[in-house]
A = this chain, B = another copy of it.
Amino acid sequence: MPNKSPFTKIKGGVCAPNGFQAAAVSAGIKNPDDPRLDLALIYSEAPCVAAGTFTTNRVKAAPVKVSQAYMKADQVQAIVANSGNANACTGVEGISDSRKTAKIISKCLGLRQRQIAICSTGVIGLPMPMTRIEPKLPELVENLSPKNGEDVARAIMTSDTCKKEISVAFDCGEHRVRIGACAKGAGMICPSMATMLCFITTDANVHPDCLQKAVQEAVEMSFNRITIDGDMSTNDTVIVLANGQSGMPAPARNSEECRKLREALVYVMTKMAKSLVRDGERVTKFVTVEVKGAKTYLDAKKVAEAVANSALVKSSWNGNDPNWGRIIHAVGYSRASVREELIDIHINGKPACLGGLQAKTQMETLRNIVAKDEFTITINLNRGNAEYEVYTSDLSPEYIDFNRSEYAYWKQARKDGLV
């Protein structure tokens, strides 16, 4: 069968689109003895149209506050990001650290301070080790190259076990356009608590309003589908920079070109979002929870999120247990309008529960499906036509073990004289 996707995979990550450069260095932010990359820069030579979505958490990290303000005030065309420290709950000092970082980078790049977006991920509540970060910022700018896309993807990793990046090319009218992206995730049990960062670059030409709308729509279809309750961490950020260097003319609003670009953003962000689930902390399974037949969109969403967020359901998947009883239980407490005797539950299309009762499918058959590392739970409420879909994972004993302590961070901060 021919590949029908209009998107061709290309190399380069965030540097794949024309006119983007990147760099990453090791600043030893979490641990001065660790040589891993932890400070990164993405830069467009040409001015950009920028759009972003930020955490809805009431407790916002300093870089989120600073980036939101800068993006409103000016035309952002560079992003500086670090892992190892979230710069969250760090008060005025944290704000000042983020601003200082933007200032230094902007001077080196010959830009205004507000043209730099800043993102951080890592532990909450500890001051940034600026004595280690500051000297590395000029080096970041010196190292800029169109070959370093992958380094950025590596530098923003925290508990991720692999880098997440993608770049694709597609035709937009008569012009070839490119989109590149990298992302990082973390814990998946309650994804609202993972810091999620995603940086997207494109050489498409796009109107600012059109871009902002497209980004919001794409985030809703992708990252919010893994953000179980719609809440986000203190640091969650998606930023898109579009520099128009593909040579395409600015498309009219609601044109075919606009639609194409929206589709491409959904495609790229969905790929990134799913890769975050797959690499969730100590995750062994990727599960799609699909709700059909709900009375309203909101009901479908409530049911999907209740099931995808249930620790008992997720534990059973970890044990290869096709436990539909726990699933219908979560459906029942989701606060959606449901009727027990109408609920059907299928696992990869095989009925596990029909009309609220155990179906005839052999338990071994269902068990063999749930033993796989990827499957789909379909819940049909049989009450209407609304649908919703989320992507989730199992929950392993190793996840809890992994998350028992961040004490090491504090010990290093003590050594650094920061606490």
Binding site for B on A (CB under 8 A): 56-60, 86, 88-91, 123-126, 187, 189-190, 192-193, 229, 231-234, 310-312, 315-316, 318-321, 323-326, 328-336, 338-341, 343, 353, 355-358, 363, 367, 395-401, 403-407, 410, 414, 419
Contacts and interface: CB of A to CB of B under 8 A. Distances in A.
Contact of A89 (B60, B89, B325, B403): B325
Contact of A340 (B59, B321, B395, B404): B59
A11 to B, nearest CB: 36
Nearest to A124: B325
Contacts of A405: 316, 319-321, 323
B328 A124 contact: yes
A326 B193 contact: yes
A357 B355 CA distance: 52
B315 A124 contact: no
Most chain B beta carbons < 10 A, residue from A90, A233, A319: A319
20 contacts: A57-B329, A58-B336, A58-B339, A59-B331, A60-B340, A89-B325, A89-B340, A90-B357, A91-B341, A124-B329, A125-B328, A125-B358, A193-B333, A233-B329, A234-B332, A316-B404, A316-B406, A318-B404, A363-B407, A397-B401
Nearest to A331: B59
Contacts of A312: 187, 189-190, 193, 403
A74 to B, nearest CB: 25
Contact of A410 (B189, B233, B363, B414): B363
Contacts of A328: 59, 89, 124-125
Contacts of A330: 193
B329 A91 contact: no
Contacts of A399: 315, 397, 400
Contacts of A353: 89, 125
A407 B310 contact: no
A123 B325 contact: yes
B326 A356 contact: no
Most chain B beta carbons < 10 A, residue from A192, A363, A404: A404
B419 A358 contact: yes
B325 A125 contact: yes
B234 A329 contact: yes
A75 to B, nearest CB: 29
